[in-house]
Amino acid sequence: MSDVVKQQIKDLLKKHNAVLLAHNYMRDEVQEIADITGDSLALSIEASKTDADVIVFCGVHFMAESAAILSPNKKVLLPRLDAGCPMADMVTAGELELLKSKHPGVPVVTYVNSSAEVKAHSDICCTSANALKVVRSLPENELIFVPDRNLGRWVAKFVPEKKFIFWEGFCPTHERMTVAAVQQKKAEHPDALFICHPESALEVSALADHVCSTSGMYDYCRTSPAEKFIIGTEAGILYKLRQENPDKEFILASPALFCPNMKLTSLEDVFASLQTLTPVISVPEETRLKAKGALDRMLAIPRD
């Protein structure tokens, strides 16, 4: 049955001149049929470069908003409207403005795992891959970091000269990965390298051989001479890691690394979305332009 649905999806993608995006944490079968897989913002950037009229975003709500911000002339679909991000929901634009009023003139660095409205009230955005570079680019010695306290504290270790005001948000999935769970896996697999995401708690990332974004994990595992890895991020990443490295072994650091929101979207949801061209995700133009400004300032930072 799934093969039939996959073909129906491909036919509808062609019919509607649509591009199918899948985040690295999506179900295996969804990643398998996607035109592009990757990190959330990278997907939106790549989709904006295509001539597609429709973007089908298999991810969560803030990701589809980012696609709408960068591709205002394309129709953006989120197959599961209830696929949200608990961390993104931990801060609102109003709450951020209240914090800003207590620290006038202090720039706001906002992780892309946030709503379009929060981005619109920020000075600059960052990803998990470029957060340190973004912070270093700021001339100010004080900054507000929103919403992920774990990513912020990981970055702060490398810039002790700067003062951080942290928003106390976090990714529940990465927070569930404990030191005890990681130590157990390391004891069971002493020949394995432990790699984790900077959304992890600091005491967990302190155990890691390497800390990086999901795209960084693909690069690291592909180029590393090591043959066994303990992976400290959402389980969906294992699909592509195993595909790209069939001779290497990948072990999930904890069974708790499972995001229910990322796993909501099924092939049937994608098919239904393409049949009806709903649900559509849009961002009001004033909010879109302000949010795009924060993203553009990030993208303007020279790459290494």
**In the chain, what are the domain boundaries?**
2-84+262-282, 88-172+288-299, 177-252
SS3 30: helix
Q: What would the two tokens of residue 124 be?
A: 């600059």
Candidates 3.40.50.10800, 3.40.50.11720, 1.20.272.10, 3.40.50.300; CATH matching 2-84+262-282: 3.40.50.10800
Alpha-helical (H) ranges within 164-284 are 172-175, 179-188, 202-205, 214-223, 238-244, 267-276
Backbone angles phi, psi at 142, to 5 degrees: -135, 140
Q: Which CATH superfamily is domain 88-172+288-299 in?
A: NadA-like (3.40.50.10800)
To the question of domain 177-252 being in CATH 3.40.50.10800, the answer is yes
Kindly report whether the global pTM for this prediction surpasses the value 0.85. Answer: yes
Tell how strand 163-166 and strand 193-196 pair up: unpaired
Ranges of residues in the chain whose predicted pLDDT is under 50: none
Share of the chain above pLDDT 70, in %: 99
pLDDT tens, residue by residue, 257-278: 999 999 999 999 999 999 999 9
